[in-house]
């Protein structure tokens, strides 16, 4: 059964040592799977140990609210449809 997570990550392409906090709403079987999905997304600093700053399990309602409000960072990059 899939669970819902809010994952905060550091976005790249802003110069050495610089990044922006990105928030992703993800469906995954567990927190490790959610972190792995986010780490492999475009714009996330893949090779940095601190690429993922936090992962928290959320309710289905909060997940839907975040996705509907286009708050997920992945939506910001025009990649809709990722669940």
Asked if residues 55 and 35 have their Cβ atoms less than 8 Å apart, the reply is yes
Read off the pLDDT of residues 38-55 as tens digits, 9 standing for 90 and up: 988 877 877 767 789 899
Question: C-alpha 14: how far from its chain's center?
Answer: 18
* pLDDT for the residue numbered 82: 43
> What is the model's pLDDT at position 18?
67
pLDDT classification of 71: cutoffs 50, 70, 90: low
């Amino acid at each position: 059964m899939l669970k819902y997570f809010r994952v905060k990550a550091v976005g790249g392409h802003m110069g050495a040592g610089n990044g922006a906090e990105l928030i992703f709403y993800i469906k995954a079987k567990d927190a490790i799977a959610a972190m792995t999905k986010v780490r492999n997304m475009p714009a996330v600093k893949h090779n940095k140990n601190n690429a993922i700053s936090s992962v928290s399990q959320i309710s289905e309602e909060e997940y839907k609210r975040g996705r509907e409000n286009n708050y997920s960072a992945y939506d910001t990059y025009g990649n809709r449809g990722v669940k």
